[in-house]
């Protein structure tokens, strides 16, 4: 099943590589990535997005369906990458507006990908504050899997800045994975160690090196912001491997893509030989099923204080099931 997914999407992802920068801000970034994302990296993000959508039975947890459906909501996707989440949401809620921001404009979708009219993608560096938005701009801010690209010391300032650009009553949702797999066998454990070593070698400062080992800092940081309320935390466990059905198969493919995108660095730095890696990959597919390997994620949702207006509720009286 996963191989079919790969074949059917490989040509589609080509359109992401040479992209048109559509931005209404002149913000410049002094930071540079170690390298531009490859097609393998972009496809890996799509696989992860698809797996989480299945696992969560949707794209988000914040109680905003009626507001988004009624239209006029402004949504910000932080670190949007190739815009998979942004595009899904824009298609599901065509009369709300979505902004995706990322430091790397090369992965933004082009018009060839039939980007919805209610989306704009902007090149914005999250570390360059203040962000180019007015106070009280957004109804919903979404962040996913950003812990490994933002220095630990920067999060407090970033979260306060995000609260500034949220409307009163708006929601913020952050979703992150714990760095380790659980019940992983020896081969998968070796791969995780190699991946951590490469992450640390890419990081240029002690602050950035602290990112890889940081676990679950966002709920504590968000709880310390007195402008936020009604914080809810949910922990999600997702299988890795065929034992977990479609979700597990997709997340096994996600790890295969991590290996493919990292193997050249591992071999160059003599962390593992090509022969050893090929053997490990073969064993991992068996190992994760034998050990019932799984990943853990946490999602934290909070609301900005101060809204005293009406709450939108939509009832579909034409639906016979209601």
Q: Which domain holds residue 67?
A: 35-304
Residue 152 has pLDDT above 80, yes or no: yes
Residues 6+ apart with CB under 8 A from 195: 258, 262
Residue 32 has pLDDT above 50, yes or no: no
How far, in Å, CA of 233 to CA of 36, rounded? 33
Q: Is the dihedral of CA 185, 187, 188, 194 positive or negative?
A: positive
Q: Give me the pLDDT at residue 34, please.
A: 45
Domain presence at residue 5: no
For 3, other C-beta atoms within 10 Å of its C-beta total 9
- Over the stretch 238-266, which tens digit does the pLDDT of each residue have? 999 999 999 999 999 999 998 888 888 88
How far, in Å, CA of 60 to CA of 76, rounded? 13
**Which pTM does this prediction carry?**
0.82
Torsion of CA 308, 60, 227, 309, to 10 degrees: -10
Closest CA to 69 of 95, 91, 90: 95
Q: Give me the pLDDT at residue 315, please.
A: 61
Q: Give me the pLDDT at residue 6, please.
A: 41
Residue 122 has pLDDT above 90, yes or no: yes
Residue 18 has pLDDT above 80, yes or no: no
Task: Supply the CATH number for residue 197's domain.
Answer: 3.40.50.150
Mean pLDDT calculated for residue range 304-314 = 78
Domain presence at residue 196: yes
Confidence of residue 308 (pLDDT cuts 50, 70, 90): confident
Cβ density class 101-121: b for 16+ within 10 Å, e for less: bbbbbbbbbeeebebbebbbb
Q: Specify the higher pLDDT residue, 210 or 6.
A: 210
Residues 6+ apart with CB under 8 A from 260: 40
Q: Give me the pLDDT at residue 307, please.
A: 85
Q: Give me the pLDDT at residue 147, please.
A: 86
Domain presence at residue 28: no
How far, in Å, CA of 202 to CA of 184, rounded? 25
Domain presence at residue 315: no
Mean pLDDT calculated for residue range 9-16 = 37
Q: Give me the pLDDT at residue 111, please.
A: 60
Chain centre to alpha carbon of residue 20: 22
Closest CA to 83 of 129, 36, 19, 168: 19
Domain presence at residue 224: yes
Q: Specify the higher pLDDT residue, 206 or 193.
A: 193
**Least confidently predicted of 18-32, 145-159, 287-301:** 18-32
Domain presence at residue 322: no
Q: Give me the pLDDT at residue 2, please.
A: 44
Total of domains in the chain: 1
Residue 30 has pLDDT above 90, yes or no: no
Domain presence at residue 320: no
Mean pLDDT calculated for residue range 309-316 = 66
Task: Find the radius of gyration of the CA atoms of the chain.
Answer: 20
Domain presence at residue 19: no
Q: Give me the pLDDT at residue 316, please.
A: 58
């Amino acid at each position: 099943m996963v191989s079919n997914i790969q074949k059917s999407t490989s040509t589609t992802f080509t359109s992401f590589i040479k992209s048109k920068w559509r931005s209404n801000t002149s913000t410049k970034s002094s930071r540079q990535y170690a390298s531009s994302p490859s097609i393998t990296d972009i496809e890996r993000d799509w696989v992860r997005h698809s797996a989480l959508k299945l696992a969560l039975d949707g794209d988000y947890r914040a109680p905003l369906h009626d507001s988004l459906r009624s239209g006029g909501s402004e949504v910000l996707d932080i670190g949007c990458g190739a815009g998979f989440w942004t595009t899904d949401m824009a298609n599901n809620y065509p009369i709300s507006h979505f902004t995706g921001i990322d430091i790397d404009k090369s992965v933004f979708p082009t018009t060839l990908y039939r980007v919805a009219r209610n989306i704009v993608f902007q090149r914005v560096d999250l570390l360059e504050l203040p962000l180019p938005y007015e106070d009280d701009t957004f109804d919903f801010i979404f962040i996913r899997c950003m812990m490994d690209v933002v220095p630990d010391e920067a999060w407090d300032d970033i979260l306060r800045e995000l609260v500034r650009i949220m409307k009163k009553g708006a929601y913020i949702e952050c979703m992150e994975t714990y760095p380790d797999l659980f019940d992983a066998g020896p081969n998968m454990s070796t791969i995780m160690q190699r991946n951590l070593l490469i992450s640390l070698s890419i990081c240029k400062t002690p602050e950035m090196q602290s990112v890889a080992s940081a676990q679950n800092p966002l709920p504590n940081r968000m709880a310390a912001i007195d402008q936020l309320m009604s914080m809810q935390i949910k922990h999600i466990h997702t299988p890795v491997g065929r034992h977990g059905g479609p979700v597990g198969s997709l997340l096994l493919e996600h790890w295969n893509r991590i290996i493919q995108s990292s193997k050249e660095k591992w071999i160059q730095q003599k962390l593992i030989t090509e022969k050893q890696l090929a053997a490990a990959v073969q064993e991992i597919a068996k190992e994760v099923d034998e050990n019932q390997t799984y990943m853990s994620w946490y999602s934290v949702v909070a609301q900005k204080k101060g809204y005293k207006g009406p709450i939108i509720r939509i009832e579909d009286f034409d639906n016979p099931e209601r």
